[in-house]
Amino acid sequence: MTGSNQTPPPAQTEEQELPYICDECTHGYAGTCCCSAPPAQPVDDAAEFQCLVPFPDQSDSFVNGFEAGMVWQRMINGERLIGGNEEIAMHSANADVFRRMASAHGYDVTVERCDQEWAIFTFTKWPKRFKIVEGSQS
């Protein structure tokens, strides 16, 4: 519009400061850290990761158990496909527990290791191929 007295907002010339992942604690989320350690490494997509509920116990066993519990709940809900390349990697330390869980709920599980700590687990529930048919006894 000509003759308008409104001025456009100034262009941003300063680089925005990126959030950081903390090296001091083990939760691995970007943003404000629960342990208030100094920033360690920049994160490009911090909107995707946030520490919403920092746990007071950040031990490996607690984290692994919580992670396994989330998968267990999805199995109980009967999801046909859990994990895979479309979801986040899970802790490799849970591999044995995940295999036992999959067996208990009738899932096949495949594991693709990303590195020493992380792996992509894919749980697939196949439809039952056999069914019991009651017959007459002679």
Give the model confidence (pLDDT) of 14-51 as tens digits: 444 444 444 444 444 444 444 444 444 444 555 555 67
58-72 pLDDT, tens digit each: 899 999 999 999 999
Q: What is the pLDDT of residue 50?
A: 66
Average pLDDT rounded to a whole number, residues 76-94: 95
Q: What is the pLDDT of residue 74?
A: 97
| Average pLDDT score, the chain | 75
Degrees, nearest 5: CA angle 32-34-38: 65
Q: What is the pLDDT of residue 32?
A: 45
Q: What is the pTM of this model?
A: 0.57
Alpha-carbon separation of residue 17 from 7, 12, 20, 52, 116 (angstroms):
27, 13, 9, 21, 31
